[in-house]
Amino acid sequence: MSSWVGMEGLSPAARAFDGNTPIPLSVTPERTANRADLIVRDSSGREVQRHALDPSASDVQWTGRDDFGLSAMPGLYTFSVESFLGETSLAETPVQSYSRLVEARLENGATVLVTEEGAEISADLISGIRKPAL
């Protein structure tokens, strides 16, 4: 796992929003859904935004802007997608994004990775690794 330090890991870890820079997200609405919502939660877990998504979408950008064009406060945010068939909720699934990994450590026999934003995530939840974009 130490070879992952300095790389970008794809995971549902919290992402830092600076108030301006959009965050690219990898979304996976349920295949049978005919509508989907992107749910944004702040570091306390409180839902702060909900946006309609195309249920066939796979990659989206969260700009941090609400329906009135106002920007979310800088801070850590987590994301999920709620999929619907009509008005029936099918599932809510975590959204993944790439974050630079800055630390790997062993805690109680499990590898924990730390992102540059300070989020800690189990190595088991990393679903992809890539070199950082320049």
pLDDT tens digits, one per residue of 51-70? 999 999 999 999 999 888 88
pLDDT confidence bin for 134, thresholds 50/70/90: low
What's at 82, amino acid-wise?
Answer: E
Residue with tokens 């329906």: 67
CATH number of 12-94: 2.60.40.4070
- Cα separation, 71 vs 65, in Å, equals 4
- Cα separation, 39 vs 30, in Å, equals 15
Domain ranges of the chain: 2-10+99-130, 12-94
- Cα separation, 81 vs 29, in Å, equals 6
Residue with tokens 């975590």: 94
Res. 1: pLDDT tops 70: no
Q: Are 115 and 13 in contact (CB under 8 A)?
A: yes
Q: Tokens at residue 41, please?
A: 């939660």
